Amino acid sequence: MSSATLTASAVNNAARRGSALGRRLLVISAWLVFLLFLVLPLFVVLTEALKQGVGVFFTSIFEPDAISALKLTLLAVGIAVPLNLLFGVAAAWCVSKYEFRGKSILVTLIDLPFSVSPVIAGLIYVLLFGAQGFFGPWLREHDIQIIFALPGIVLATLFVTVPFVARELIPLMQEQGTQEEEAARLLGANGWQMFWHVTLPNIKWGLIYGVVLCTARAMGEFGAVSVVSGHIRGYTNTLPLHVEILYNEYNHVAAFSVASLLLLLALLILLLKQWSESRINHLKARAGEE
Amino acid sequence: MSRRTSPVIPGFGLTLGYTLVYLSLLVLIPLGAMFVHAAQLTWEQFWTIISSPRVLAALKLSFGTAFLAAVINGVIGTLLAWVLVRYTFPGRKIIEAMIDLPFALPTAVAGIALTALYAPNGLIGQFATSLGFKIAYTPLGITLALTFVTLPFVVRTIQPVLADIPREVEEAAACLGAKPLQVARHVLLPALLPAWLTGFALAFARGVGEYGSVIFIAGNMPMKTEILPLLIMVQLDQYNYAGATAIGVLMLVVSFILLLLINLLQRRISHS
Amino acid sequence: MSIRRFALATLASTLIAGPVAAQTLLNVSYDPTRELYSEFNAAFNKHWQAQGNEAVTIQQSHGGSGKQARAVIDGLRADVVTLALAGDIDELYKLGKLIPQNWQERLPDASTPYTSTIVFLVRKGNPKGIKDWDDLVKPGVAVITPNPKTSGGARWNLLAAWAFAQQKYGSEAQAKEFVAKLYKNVPVLDTGARGSSITFVNNGIGDVLLAWENEAFLALKEEGGDNFEIVAPSLSILAEPPVSVVDANVDRKGTRKVAEAYLNYLYSDEGQRLAAKHFYRPRNQAIAKDFSEQFSDLRLVTIDADFGGWKTAQPKFFDDGGIFDQIYQAR
């Protein structure tokens, strides 16, 4: 504690006591908001899922359609996240290491998919690749199926998750500047060596953080995927779509069981995120000490 | 595209080229396709579609509830950010970690969970019913769903800024005899406002477009609880591609203008 | 990283598993037929194999009828469509040129292997005393029905109410007023028939659900008969959900033979029995008789005799600016 704070607290004892009360009130209300707003929905998902016992819960999760939905979701995530990771690194690189005209426009464009409704994200691919769309006749002639199949689902997922890795990396890389890289170059490293040995270690945790966010969003995307999925049971249903379908089949318990599977995945992602974040803070703190 | 500051570092052409190609293929050309599609309408047809009472009602609802949700988050988000940054208390780490839950949770899951909670036979819904009002299937339900979904954006933009305001400034002000409200008004507010606006803009933009969590709880009544993204879906399902694209263009343009305004406002505030 | 490895494994397994299944058949259907077709598909496969054919993988897609037709027009490669009303299948001809104009003449009974009607589902004991259509417009009665713009079932609902009002009060203007009043009592307007059932049954909204007869029976079955009962109004509409092969898709995939056999099997005794078991009214009168206990005898109007067919009814009632828009926007 600095000396200024010490004096302040000494002088203002009365105010302190008042603020201790205020502080307690604030903490309690934060807890209330947290419990009512964030925890209660989780509680509902889990209780609804376990309403008819653990047996029904596991049957719903291991049912073939649920498994194939899980596979499809992981497959879409497995394709979309690496692609957006590559994009995020490239975009962050050119935005943070160089100055050029139109940079702020580029940054806005990278952020754009965030504020586009997922439904629109689905719609635009239908307009492009649907049978009535721009490329529809050509695709049909060549027997290529994009929407209502895996490519469409991946495209929709890619669209909604474009910004996340780049958004995490840009501020981080801007903060780090270019000195270390320049030094590496002067010492004779080539471009790739510089990237692997200097840049990557510096941005590693930010990268992981971005990937975690990207994965979360990709896994849970509903609106965009719903437009391009075709809802073929066991084939083009992702997990979130499968939840909707079960919900619409009077299969309340199964819907909430699969939902709680997604919830568990979400909690796992939060853990990963927390971990990478603490690594970032740790590194920052160390950099501060040096 | 010129003026590279650091000629030593390679990869400018490669990364910029890749970024532009990727963005164009994935985002810009498809979005452009929507505008081209909408351009097949005459101005008059476009106007008839977007000025129809049903579209206007959905427009009001979508932007209204998203605005309200962003405002609510402005308050509870600030509260949470404040408590998390300033105090250590039991369970702080848990809250800190769980703030991002609405982001990590698939929106459809949030949708059915909130519906189960707020429907008239749900845990909270029952309570509301006994008090004589309804939450699910009303704009209130939509607002709540949007508040849930967009909460992390507000907290996460305010948190780092709040952490950067040195405590000493407030305490010095308090020492000089400022009352807590005065401290808030003259010290905290100006420092927080840009971040607050950013968080607000993020929450608002996301809220306007949100679909998955809302359709379960909305009730989807034309003119009453039908949100714009759903209206796009409905138009599409009636084979009305022109209508769907016209509403899509409208949504994009209005969100874009609003975000631009908020950006300008933000810039002005951080300059003064 | 293990996720990625898993994804790669999945990718590999889908690539390997892909070519093994001999033929796949995609049936794009509407909401309330899920249970019927999951059983029918298994029965058909058995029948198909018994005739010396290889097993066929039958895929199902369900959703609002209009939404499903739109997906097929946009390129969802359905081999057969089994939708809620002829108007939606007509669009496959009009917008997509995927089927010939006379598609409805290719199978018996105007390509409608089973029919249904619209009944009321009310809460146990019928606390609001709902007996007939005019009870629905009373103040304080909350009616659940989906959006006619997107749901086939909802269109049948509206037309049934219209037919009742027109017969009771005489003029079209009064029918319009009656239907407008009815929709004033609707607190939730879901996009599909199933969504409405969920709203009524699971979420406890409303006093009466206007439902497909089969949907109402299913709700009784799934949720137990303790909470709900079915009320048959004095007059309803003969709902005719038609089926068709999607010519453009089966010819491309070489699945015409199995697709046609699939639809024909709906007319077989086995198919008719399955339809009846899932609370659709079978066309086969002998089988209908076996199930006569479950279907109450209703006075039914038809779309062709009383509304001039879907070609007239669709634009008049449901297209933009039609009667539904007029009554809904006037409120």
Contact yes or no for A244 and B108 at CB 8 A: yes
Search chain B and give the residue with CA nearest C90: B239
A vs B: CB pairs below 8 A? 294
In one-letter notation, the amino acid at residue C140 is G
Complex prediction ipTM:
0.88
Chain B residues inside the 8 Å CB shell of A29: 79
Mean pLDDT over the full length of chain C: 88
Q: Is the CB of residue C70 less than 8 Å away from at least one CB of chain B?
A: yes
Chain B residues inside the 8 Å CB shell of A27: 83, 87, 89
In one-letter notation, the amino acid at residue A185 is R
Contact yes or no for B15 and A102 at CB 8 A: no
Name residue, tokens 């003449």: C105
Q: With contact defined as beta carbons under 8 Å apart, do A80 and A154 qualify?
A: yes
**How far, in Å, CA of B33 to CA of B28, rounded?**
8
Enumerate chain A positions whose Cβ falls within 8 A of a Cβ in C: 71, 74-75, 77-79, 82, 126, 129-133, 136, 139-140, 143, 145, 147-148, 215, 230-235, 245, 247-250, 252
B108-162 pLDDT per residue, tens: 999 999 999 998 888 898 889 888 888 988 999 999 999 999 999 999 999 988 8
- B137: nearest CB among C187, C328, C329: C187
Q: With contact defined as beta carbons under 8 Å apart, do B154 and B70 qualify?
A: yes
Name residue, tokens 């309403």: A51
Least confident of A56-65, A97-106, A254-263, C154-163: A97-106
Q: What is the dihedral of CA A28, A30, A31, A33, to 10 degrees?
A: 120
Q: What is the dihedral of CA A235, A68, A220, A47, to 10 degrees?
A: 130
Chain C residues inside the 8 Å CB shell of B126: none
**How far, in Å, CA of C270 to CA of C94, rounded?**
33
Look at residues B27, B198, B206 and name the one whose alpha carbon lies nearest to residue B110: B206
Confidence of residue C164 (pLDDT cuts 50, 70, 90): very high
Search chain C and give the residue with CA nearest A252: C202
Q: With contact defined as beta carbons under 8 Å apart, do C120 and C233 qualify?
A: yes
Search chain A and give the residue with CA nearest C219: A250
Contact yes or no for C204 and B119 at CB 8 A: yes
* SS3 category, A237: coil
Confidence of residue A288 (pLDDT cuts 50, 70, 90): low
**How far, in Å, CA of A73 to CA of C119, rounded?**
39
B149-175 pLDDT per residue, tens: 999 999 999 998 888 887 777 777 777
Search chain B and give the residue with CA nearest A1: B168
Paired tokens of C229: 């009962």
- C191: nearest CB among B120, B234, B239: B234
pLDDT cut 70: percent of chain C above it: 92
Q: With contact defined as beta carbons under 8 Å apart, do A29 and B79 qualify?
A: yes
Confidence of residue C218 (pLDDT cuts 50, 70, 90): confident
Cβ burial of B212 (10 Å; 0-12, 13-18, 19+) is buried
Chain A residues inside the 8 Å CB shell of C73: 131-132
Q: With contact defined as beta carbons under 8 Å apart, do B242 and B50 qualify?
A: no
- Give Cβ neighbours of residue A65 (< 8 Å, ≥ 6 apart): A233, A234, A237, A242
Cβ burial of A121 (10 Å; 0-12, 13-18, 19+) is buried
Q: With contact defined as beta carbons under 8 Å apart, do B105 and A217 qualify?
A: no
In one-letter notation, the amino acid at residue A285 is A
Give mean pLDDT, residues C12-35: 70
Cβ burial of A87 (10 Å; 0-12, 13-18, 19+) is buried
Contact yes or no for B109 and A29 at CB 8 A: no
Chain A residues inside the 8 Å CB shell of B211: 117-119, 222-223, 226
Q: CA of B200, closest CA in chain A: separation in Å? A: 13
- Cα-to-chain-centroid distance, residue C295: 17
- A12: nearest CB among B97, B174, B241: B174
- Tell me which H or E stretch contains A154: helix A150-161
Least confident of B20-24, B78-82, C150-154, C246-250: C150-154
- Give C 92-111 residues with CB within 8 A of chain B: 95
Which span out of B162-166, B190-194, C86-90 was modeled with the highest average pLDDT? C86-90
Chains that touch A (3 or more CB pairs under 8 A): B, C
- Taken in order C223, C225, C231, C232, the sign of the CA dihedral is positive
Q: What is the pLDDT of residue A1?
A: 39
B3-26 pLDDT per residue, tens: 445 567 888 889 999 999 999 999
Q: With contact defined as beta carbons under 8 Å apart, do C117 and C238 qualify?
A: yes
- C67: nearest CB among B54, B237, B243: B237
As a three-state string, the secondary structure of chain B is CCCCCCCCCCCHHHHHHHHHHHHHHHHHHHHHHHHHHHHCCCHHHHHHHHCCHHHHHHHHHHHHHHHHHHHHHHHHHHHHHHHHHHCCCCCHHHHHHHCCHHHHCCHHHHHHHHHHHHCCCCHHHHHHHHCCCCCCCCHHHHHHHHHHHHHHHHHHHHHHHHHHCCHHHHHHHHHCCCCHHHHHHHHHHHHHHHHHHHHHHHHHHHHHHCCHHHHHHHCCCCCCCCCHHHHHHHHHHCCCHHHHHHHHHHHHHHHHHHHHHHHHHHHHHHHC
**How far, in Å, CA of A111 to CA of B256, rounded?**
12
Chains that touch B (3 or more CB pairs under 8 A): A, C
Contact yes or no for B117 and A127 at CB 8 A: no
B31-90 pLDDT per residue, tens: 999 999 998 899 999 999 999 888 999 999 999 999 999 999 999 999 999 999 988 888
Contact yes or no for C70 and B239 at CB 8 A: yes
Give mean pLDDT, residues A41-49: 93
Q: Which of C145, C201, C203, C205 to mutate to test the interface with B (most CBs of B within 10 A)?
A: C203
Q: Which of A231, A246, A269 to mutate to test the interface with C (most CBs of C within 10 A)?
A: A231
Q: CA of C65, closest CA in chain A: separation in Å? A: 13
- Give Cβ neighbours of residue A178 (< 8 Å, ≥ 6 apart): A97, B5, B6, B8, B9
- Give A 117-136 residues with CB within 8 A of chain B: 117-120, 123-128, 132-134
- Tell me which H or E stretch contains A283: helix A252-289
Q: Is the CB of residue A179 less than 8 Å away from at least one CB of chain B?
A: no
Search chain A and give the residue with CA nearest C34: A249
Q: With contact defined as beta carbons under 8 Å apart, do B165 and B188 qualify?
A: yes
**DSSP secondary-structure letter at A33?**
H
**How far, in Å, CA of B158 to CA of B199, rounded?**
7
Q: Which residues pair with C117 in a beta bridge?
A: C238
In one-letter notation, the amino acid at residue A62 is F
Contact yes or no for C204 and B121 at CB 8 A: yes
Paired tokens of B48: 């008839």
pLDDT of A102 over the 80 cut: yes
**How far, in Å, CA of B56 to CA of B223, rounded?**
8
Cα separations in angstroms, B49 against A166, B231, C70: 37, 12, 20
Paired tokens of B46: 């476009």
Q: What is the dihedral of CA A243, B107, B66, B237, to 10 degrees?
A: -40
**How far, in Å, CA of B246 to CA of B251, rounded?**
9
Terminal C-alpha separation, chain A:
20
- B251: nearest CB among A114, A117, A213: A117
In one-letter notation, the amino acid at residue C71 is A
Chain C residues inside the 8 Å CB shell of B136: 203
Chain C residues inside the 8 Å CB shell of A248: 31, 62, 192, 194-195, 198
Look at residues A126, A155, A159 and name the one whose alpha carbon lies nearest to residue B34: A126
**How far, in Å, CA of B228 to CA of B61, rounded?**
8
Q: Is the CB of residue C186 less than 8 Å away from at least one CB of chain B?
A: yes
Q: Which of A36, A77, A98 to mutate to test the interface with B (most CBs of B within 10 A)?
A: A98
**E strands along A10-162, which residues?**
none
- Taken in order B232, B234, B239, B243, the sign of the CA dihedral is negative
Buried b or exposed e, range C118-146, using 16+ CB within 10 angstroms:
bbbbbbeebebebeebbbbbeeebbbbbb
A11-43 pLDDT per residue, tens: 455 455 557 888 889 999 999 999 998 999 999
Q: Which of C76, C94, C215 to mutate to test the interface with A (most CBs of A within 10 A)?
A: C76
pLDDT of C126 over the 90 cut: yes
Q: What is the pLDDT of residue B268?
A: 76
Paired tokens of A143: 């027997």
Q: What is the pLDDT of residue C224?
A: 65
Q: With contact defined as beta carbons under 8 Å apart, do A133 and A127 qualify?
A: yes
**How far, in Å, CA of C118 to CA of C122, rounded?**
13
Q: With contact defined as beta carbons under 8 Å apart, do A243 and A261 qualify?
A: no
Paired tokens of C277: 């078991």
Q: Which of B21, B86, B101, B239 to mutate to test the interface with A (most CBs of A within 10 A)?
A: B101
Search chain C and give the residue with CA nearest B221: C189
**How far, in Å, CA of B69 to CA of B77, rounded?**
11
Q: CA of A101, closest CA in chain B: separation in Å? A: 5
Contact yes or no for C187 and B221 at CB 8 A: yes
Q: What is the pLDDT of residue A16?
A: 53
Chain C residues inside the 8 Å CB shell of B220: 147, 188-191, 195
A148-160 pLDDT per residue, tens: 999 999 999 999 9
- Give Cβ neighbours of residue B224 (< 8 Å, ≥ 6 apart): B57, B61, B139
Cα separations in angstroms, C281 against A216, A219, A249, C293: 46, 42, 21, 12
